[in-house]
Structures are given as structure tokens and as C-alpha cells.
Chain A
Amino acid sequence: DAGITQSPRHKVTETGTPVTLRCHQTENHRYMYWYRQDPGHGLRLIHYSYGVKDTDKGEVSDGYSVSRSKTEDFLLTLESATSSQTSVYFCAISEGGGYGYTFGSGTRLTVV
């Protein structure tokens, strides 16, 4: 979607290696989110940010860390990738409470 880009779009990595996914926005929105999407589970929140250097955990945060050093960038890191982290990862941005999200196009991550 315009205003939000995710990179890479696809990645295959080996178990035990660190992986970083990037979300970049040009909308100057305060809130940014990382979700994972798996069959049968819908969209589950991993971590979110409510400002530069302000982040908090979501419902499935184990094994993930995030950083936000600039308004426009929100990084998701898998410290040591496992096969259970094979998923499609979506970043989203929002102006705040009572506003909908704009989602990126997703990153398909495969851990082998």
C-alpha cells in the first residue's frame, strides 16, 4: 500500500540464524505494529510501537524483538529463527485510537 513498505517480500532462512524484517512508512503515523498471519489463527499481534523508542509486547512476542529509532522505520528481529516462526508477517500503521490500520504487503518468511 502507498505510504508503507515492507522488506524483504520473501525470505528463506535457516534455523538458528537471526533475521530482521523492515517496515518503512512515509505517513508520519505515530503507531506501528507487527502481526503474523497463520492458517487457522488469523492475525496475531507480535509487538507494537507508540512512538520513537516506545515499544510494547503483543500476544505472541516470544522469540521476537523490535526497534524503532526513527518515526518512519520499525524493525522486527527474530533472534534465532525457528521453524515455528515460518509465517507471513504484516506491518501496519495507524494514526491512533479509533482509526483503522493501513497494512503493508507482507513478508513471507520460511525457516528451514
Chain B
Amino acid sequence: GENVEQHPSTLSVQEGDSAVIKCTYSDSASNYFPWYKQELGKGPQLIIDIRSNVGEKKDQRIAVTLNKTAKHFSLHITETQPEDSAVYFCAASKGAGNKLTFGGGTRVLVKP
């Protein structure tokens, strides 16, 4: 089955700096790659996603890039703010049923 690896497991950045989280996937048939943000005591929340026919997608300070050849995708957060502190998960899926396989998560801490 699909395997998704996520790095780093923890990331500490200064407020205003950029944060980058990287994920690799194993199944070349995967075609949908969402990112989730989980705040303490809450369920994960979808923040951005990308499909395999697109190389990059942006939404305000958040962007995701996809390299299908290398089978990796990345989340970029610019101008980080304290409220960006959370655990971020990448995921991958293919086809109907949309079973997502998640990476292990990255704990991001934005220091004021």
C-alpha cells in the first residue's frame, strides 16, 4: 500500500520567517495530496490540497508544490505568525474511496 513520509518531525521558526515541510509518497498512482493543520485538542483541518495535474497552488501565505517525477510534495508557509503553531500532516490518496494515507506529522513552533 501507500507509504507517506514527512520531514521534519519538529520545526521551530522565528515569527516572520518561512517554514517548509516535505513529504514523499511511494505509490505513483496517488493523485490527490491534501495538507491538514491540527491545533491542540482539535481534529485536523484541511488547509490546502493539490491534485496531480497541477504543480503548484497558493492560498495567501500558504503554498504547496508537487513533483510527480520525484514523488514528493511540500508545504510552504511564508511570513509565519504565532497562530501558525500547530501540527501539520500531509496525506496522499488515489482513486475512488479517497482513503488517505497520512504522514507522521510535523510540529511547528513559531517563536515571537
Contacts and interface: CB of A to CB of B under 8 A. Distances in A.
A45 B42 contact: no
Interface string A68-112: 000000000000000000000010101011111111111000000
A1 B38 CA distance: 12
Contacts of A31: 97-98
Given A103-B44, A105-B43, A42 B98 contact: no
Contacts of B104: 40-42
B99 A48 contact: yes
Interface stretch (B12-20, B67-75, B88-96): B88-96
Nearest to B48: A100
A42 B102 contact: yes
Given A100-B49, A101-B46, 11 more contacts: A42-B103, A43-B89, A90-B44, A96-B96, A96-B97, A97-B32, A98-B51, A101-B98, A101-B100, A102-B46, A104-B43
Interface of B: 1, 6, 31-32, 34, 36, 42-46, 49, 51, 89, 93, 95-105
Interface of A: 1, 31, 33, 35, 40-45, 48, 50, 58-59, 90, 92, 94, 96-106
26 contacts: A31-B97, A41-B104, A42-B6, A42-B103, A42-B105, A43-B89, A43-B102, A45-B99, A45-B100, A59-B1, A90-B44, A92-B43, A96-B96, A96-B97, A96-B98, A97-B95, A97-B96, A97-B97, A97-B98, A98-B32, A98-B51, A101-B98, A102-B46, A103-B43, A104-B43, A105-B43
